[in-house]
Amino acid sequence: MSVPEESARHRVMIVDDEEATLASLDEMLRDAFEVVAAHDGFDALEKLAKAEPDLVLLDVAMPLMDGFECCRSIRKNPACQNLPVVFLSVASAPEVIKRTYACGGNLFITKPVDAERLVRNIRMSLVAAGPPRPKRFPIEALREGRRPAEARRQPAAPPPAEAKPAVAPAPAPAPAQREKSEAAGPNKPRVMIVDDDAEVSGLLVLAFQEKFEIVTAENGLEAIERIVNYQPDVLLIDIMMPKMNGFQLCQSLRRNASYREAPILFLTAKSGRSDRELARRCGANAFITKPFDMQRLLDLIEEIVQRPTFRVRAKTHTLNEIAELEIKERHEKEDRRHQRDRMEEYDRLQEFLDRSS
């Protein structure tokens, strides 16, 4: 087990989807701080535990998961309750600034910003944080590897499997492979089902739960939040979902080093040629149209997990721990809804009293 090393400087995580902006901010800050970059909200959430930033510098307008959603997700992490989050945006309307503080932000800075002003504001925000915390990984280890732009220049993914491979019987696995597939416990592959149709998700859970660990999400944004903790090995994704559709979710996953090679299967009612082509360009491994044959879908996933290149990733949480997390999340949602209802009732009562006086 590695011993945390004392950091000489505070570490700042920059979250922005524009490569030029990331480079510019890195140039402004790297003489004063350790700097680590994240190119969207999911990348930021996935890197938080390893990067251990002392402050997050967050853009507002990002595709897929905007800054508000990202900040709310950061605040759900118990270890990040007091992590300073500074918003940096060209949008300066009062309602935008109000939203940044409502979602848990500590400071709002408008673009464009010069280096001196930015460094001064970050240092001011770090006063309460105290000296730099010990870090498990040096900044050099975090800055290694391909940048997002380089990842996007990689050769296009092979075309996703059409419906026919999804219904073809899987080849019989070798004895050693069969033992691996049927093994119970932590070696089971974990499959995440992302679908806003509760009936479809329920059927898939019932069909798959004996051979795989199953976790679910109702939409793309919820999936991004949960993937960080749930660490799925295979993803079954619907295309037509609110907040973030399946194509957007797949693109975000493929830009992330941890999920660049993860099996992603689209399970959808869409069947047009343009949909299949977009799925191919997003990096999907299979495109399966609804209605589908459940057994043949199960056979396809079993064939995928038997491939020599497939690996079951180490998990931070067991299924029981995930169930507890989801119960806690539901309670928190109910509490927020009740609080919002009480505030609306209070506003209506105040309005009635004002009219009556």
Q: Are 266 and 278 in contact (CB under 8 A)?
A: no
- Output 187 or 118, whichever has higher pLDDT: 118
Per-residue pLDDT at 347:
74
3-state secondary structure of 15: strand
Q: Are 238 and 270 in contact (CB under 8 A)?
A: no
Angle between helix 273-282 and 246-254 (nearest 10): 20
Per-residue pLDDT at 160:
53
What tokens were used for 5?
């090393």
Q: Fold match between 11-150 and 155-305?
A: yes
- Per-residue pLDDT band for 14 (boundaries 50, 70, 90) equals very high
Q: Which CATH number fits domain 155-305: 1.20.1300.10, 1.10.3720.10, 3.40.50.2300, 3.40.50.10860?
A: 3.40.50.2300
Q: What is the mean pLDDT of the chain?
A: 83
Per-residue pLDDT reduced to its tens digit, 46-105: 899 899 999 999 999 887 788 999 999 999 888 898 999 999 998 888 889 999 999 999
Per-residue pLDDT at 68:
92
- Output 125 or 337, whichever has higher pLDDT: 125
- Output 347 or 316, whichever has higher pLDDT: 316
Q: Does the pLDDT at position 304 exceed 60?
A: yes
Per-residue pLDDT at 172:
40
Per-residue pLDDT at 2:
53
Per-residue pLDDT at 7:
59
What are the phi and psi torsion angles at 108 (to 5°)?
Answer: -120, 125
**CA distance linking residue 55 with residue 126, whole number of Å:** 7
Please state the separation of Cα 14 from the chain's center in Å: 16
What are the phi and psi torsion angles at 58 (to 5°)?
Answer: -120, 125
Per-residue pLDDT at 357:
65
What radius of gyration, in Å, describes the C-alpha atoms of the chain? 23
DSSP 145-158: S--HHHHHTSPPPP
Residue 56: count of CB within 10 angstroms of its CB: 25
By residue count, the chain amounts to 357
Q: Are 11 and 36 in contact (CB under 8 A)?
A: yes
Q: Does the pLDDT at position 298 exceed 50?
A: yes
Query: Is the dihedral angle over the CA atoms 215, 221, 224, 229 positive or is it negative?
Result: negative
Tell me which CATH homologous superfamily contains domain 11-150. Response regulator (3.40.50.2300)
Per-residue pLDDT at 92:
82
Domain ranges of the chain: 11-150, 155-305, 319-357
